[in-house]
Amino acid sequence: MTTATAQSEQLTKLQSEDFEQIAEKIDKALKNVEDLMDENARMHALGLKTAIEDFHKFALTKIVQKLKSDERGKELLFELVDEPSVYALLQLHGIVKPNINAKISQILEMVRPYMQSHGGDVEFVSYENSTVYVRLMGSCNGCSQSAVTLREGVEEALLHNIPEVKKVEVVPNEPSPSLIQIESLKSSKTSGWIETYAVEDVPNGSKKCFKNEKENILIINVDNRLSAYRNECPHQGLPLDGGMLEADERILTCPWHGFKFDANSGECLTAPATQLEVFPLRIENGKILVRPL
């Protein structure tokens, strides 16, 4: 390791420690204010805190707007957001809002191996009004104690890791194909699911774009696992299907400005605040069905 590299790593470590120490001081100071016995003094202190935060938010918003108005400024902004302390500050004031659907999908991917080891699985359906709607399959779709344990595991993982999520609801499974009537087949076409390609049309290590009048969807197959995203880079909304897919590294690179994304989760590896919009996907009769949100 070169001296310059060692110094850089040491500086990064010190900056991280400084950030953690500052955060601890803020938490301690806020607790001291909340513990004040004099209610009048406590209200004045909290009022001062709110006023300072409002001032910071106003100024930070002006800074972000100015940076976004210039191409070079945009690049600098994304570099800044990659710094944990800057990201935390902007998120605190609601200026940076992570893609909630991508976060939900990431958490479900974390619990999926455990569920599959018990003969079950979980599918993300939608997110509305602080509630995550999921569909449980296999042994999860029942009333046994093991099924209850698996359901609670999904709920605990989502509530613990995503503060925006306040509730998890399990939606009923679709009826068995042998019981589906012609009428329900007609109505299912309006349920939001879009039939795209046959599974064999998107082989392992490849990607394919599907377009219709309303949607532009990017389907990726990495490690024999299919994922569907809105075919737009969050940076400037430009299409991603012309980008390079490094299947071995599970990385998709935007062809326009080089932003890199985790091909399995949609997480942006270049700037954490710019995740791809993930769409629910399922396989039915050898066809890939996608549900744009």
DSSP tag of 176? P
* Residue 185 pLDDT: 39
Q: Do domains 100-173 and 193-290 have the same CATH topology?
A: no
One-letter amino acid of 114: Y
Cα separation of 108 and 113, whole Å?
A: 9
pLDDT value at 180 more than 60: no
Alpha carbon separation from 191 to 58, 124, 185, 201, 213 (Å, rounded): 42, 15, 10, 24, 17
The CATH number given to 193-290 is 2.102.10.10
* Residue 176 pLDDT: 39
* Residue 129 pLDDT: 84
* Residue 87 pLDDT: 72
Give the tokens for residue 202: 């998107």
Maximum Cα interatomic distance, the chain, rounded to a whole number of Å: 72
**Weakest-pLDDT range from 84-88, 136-140, 183-187, 259-263:** 183-187
The whole-angstrom distance between residue 71's C-alpha and the CA centroid of its chain comes to 25
In the three-class reduction of DSSP (H, G, I as helix; E, B as strand; rest coil), residue 76 is classed as helix
Give the angle subtended at the CA of 128 by the CAs of 124 and 134, to the nearest 5°: 25
Res. 56 pLDDT band, cuts 50 70 90? confident
CATH fold label, 100-173: GMP Synthetase; Chain A, domain 3 (3.30.300)
pLDDT value at 8 more than 60: no
> What's the whole-number mean pLDDT along residues 274-278?
84
- Exposure letters 181-209 (e unless 16+ CB within 10 A, then b): eeeeeeeeeeeebbebeeeeebeeeebbe
Say which residue the tokens 């290590």 belong to: 205
One-letter amino acid of 251: I
Phi-psi region of 70 (alpha: psi -120 to 50; beta: other; left: phi over 0): beta
Query: Whole-model pTM?
Result: 0.41
Res. 66 pLDDT band, cuts 50 70 90? confident
Cα separation of 29 and 33, whole Å?
A: 6
Q: What is the per-residue pLDDT across 217-275, written as a single tens digit (0 to 9) for each?
A: 999 999 888 999 999 988 778 899 999 999 888 999 998 888 889 898 888 888 766 78
pLDDT value at 196 more than 60: yes
DSSP tag of 224? T
- Tell me the β-bridge partners of 219: 208, 228
Give the tokens for residue 183: 């009428």
Q: Domain locations in the chain?
A: 3-92, 100-173, 193-290
Say which residue the tokens 């955060």 belong to: 23
